[in-house]
Amino acid sequence: MNWGRTKTILIVLFLIVNSLLFTTYILLEHSANSIDEQVIESTVTALSEHGIHISEDLIRKKKYADYHVSMKSAASDKENTVKKLLGDEYEKTDNFEYRSGSAVVSISGSKIRYSNNRNVENIEADALSRGTDKLAEEHLKQLGFDRKTYFMYNKHLENGILTFEIMPRYNEYKIEGVRLKAKADNAGILELEGTWFYTEYADTSAKETFCNVTSVLLEFMYQTNSAGKTIYRIEGCLYIPSEYMSAKTVMPLPVYIILCTDGSVTIFNAKDASLILQNP
């Protein structure tokens, strides 16, 4: 027997089997983390038959990773929050407020309020040339907000004052249910008010994913008054319900949010496709 030739054949067979196993693994991994095109088509057809309109391209094929994120309330961490907003040099007043120069911070329950009563410097054309996003980012950075930790939206400039809102984020995910409303001029933030949570830690090793969005859409189909609606966006995100706002730490729920052209918002638990909120 030619052992050299036999050895070569065995090595080739080993490589072929290894390649086939790897290919099978990749296909299974892809199947576990994505939705089949036919499933999407069938879902759109079923929705259409119930009078619900949606475009196939709104249904994301890749499943969202279900990270386990722990978030801490900024209101519960008063000392750290006040230092971020006012710096190290501040004084506590009799009204449970914290003051540094013209800037004041008050924390009541889960609510935070920051205001600066200095003279207003209207935003002029030269500042606008950099864009309102950039200006707001610079101002928020002065108060300890890292750009990677929030989404900015609802921006509006009027009479030299920029108003906007920010929402916490973890990677690509919005943290719905939490927000700060802000006003800013050319020199900095004038007001911040609302609730805020920041990420303490996240388990990124978890292999879990959100449930199929198609399952959620089929649940939506059977909700009251769903017929006749047109879905224009589906968001996978994390959500902190209002009843948890007073908690010191919380693990946001993974959810799907379905937005319709009539202004209705429907929120489903992304673990089991159960309904959380429908408004209206």
* pLDDT tens digit sequence for 174-212: 999 999 999 999 999 999 999 999 999 998 776 788 999
Determine what percent of the chain is predicted with pLDDT higher than 70.
Answer: 86
Q: What is the pLDDT of residue 15?
A: 54
Domain boundary, last residue among 175, 201, 227: 201
Q: Dihedral (C-alpha) 107, 113, 116, 117: value to the nearest 10 degrees?
A: -90
Q: What is the pLDDT of residue 49?
A: 94
Residue the block writes with tokens 């292999």: 207
Q: What is the pLDDT of residue 219?
A: 95
Say if residue 29 is in the same domain as residue 42.
Answer: no
pLDDT tops 80 at residue 136 = yes
Q: What is the domain extent for residue 231?
A: 35-66+208-279
Helix ranges, 34-122 (H): 37-49, 78-86
Q: What is the pLDDT of residue 8?
A: 64
Distance CA 126, CA 133 (A): 14
Say if residue 124 is in the same domain as residue 216.
Answer: no
Say if residue 110 is in the same domain as residue 60.
Answer: no
Which is more confidently placed, 15 or 91? 91
Q: What is the pLDDT of residue 12?
A: 54
pLDDT tops 50 at residue 25 = no
Which is more confidently placed, 140 or 26? 140
- Give the least confident one: 1-15, 18-32, 123-137: 18-32
Say if residue 122 is in the same domain as residue 147.
Answer: yes
Q: What is the pLDDT of residue 129?
A: 64
Say if residue 244 is in the same domain as residue 190.
Answer: no
Domain boundary, last residue among 201, 236, 266: 201
pLDDT digits over 69-122, tens only? Answer: 999 999 999 999 999 999 999 999 877 799 999 999 999 999 999 999 999 999
* Total structural domains within the chain: 3
CB contact at 8 A, 46 and 221: yes
Say if residue 197 is in the same domain as residue 214.
Answer: no
- The pLDDT confidence band at residue 280, using thresholds 50, 70 and 90, is confident
List C-alpha distances in Å: 193 to 80, 110, 166, 190.
17, 11, 10, 10
Q: What is the pLDDT of residue 207?
A: 73
* CATH number of residue 100's parent domain: 3.30.310
Angle, alpha carbons 53-54-60 (nearest 5°): 160
Say if residue 25 is in the same domain as residue 45.
Answer: no
pLDDT digits over 217-265, tens only? Answer: 999 999 988 999 999 999 999 999 999 999 999 999 999 999 999 999 9
Say if residue 229 is in the same domain as residue 257.
Answer: yes
Say if residue 60 is in the same domain as residue 120.
Answer: no
pLDDT tops 70 at residue 67 = yes
Strands 231-239 and 173-176 turn out to be: parallel
Say if residue 116 is in the same domain as residue 195.
Answer: yes
Say if residue 145 is in the same domain as residue 263.
Answer: no
Say if residue 22 is in the same domain as residue 114.
Answer: no
CB contact at 8 A, 143 and 84: yes
- The pLDDT confidence band at residue 13, using thresholds 50, 70 and 90, is low
Domain boundary, last residue among 182, 201, 220: 201
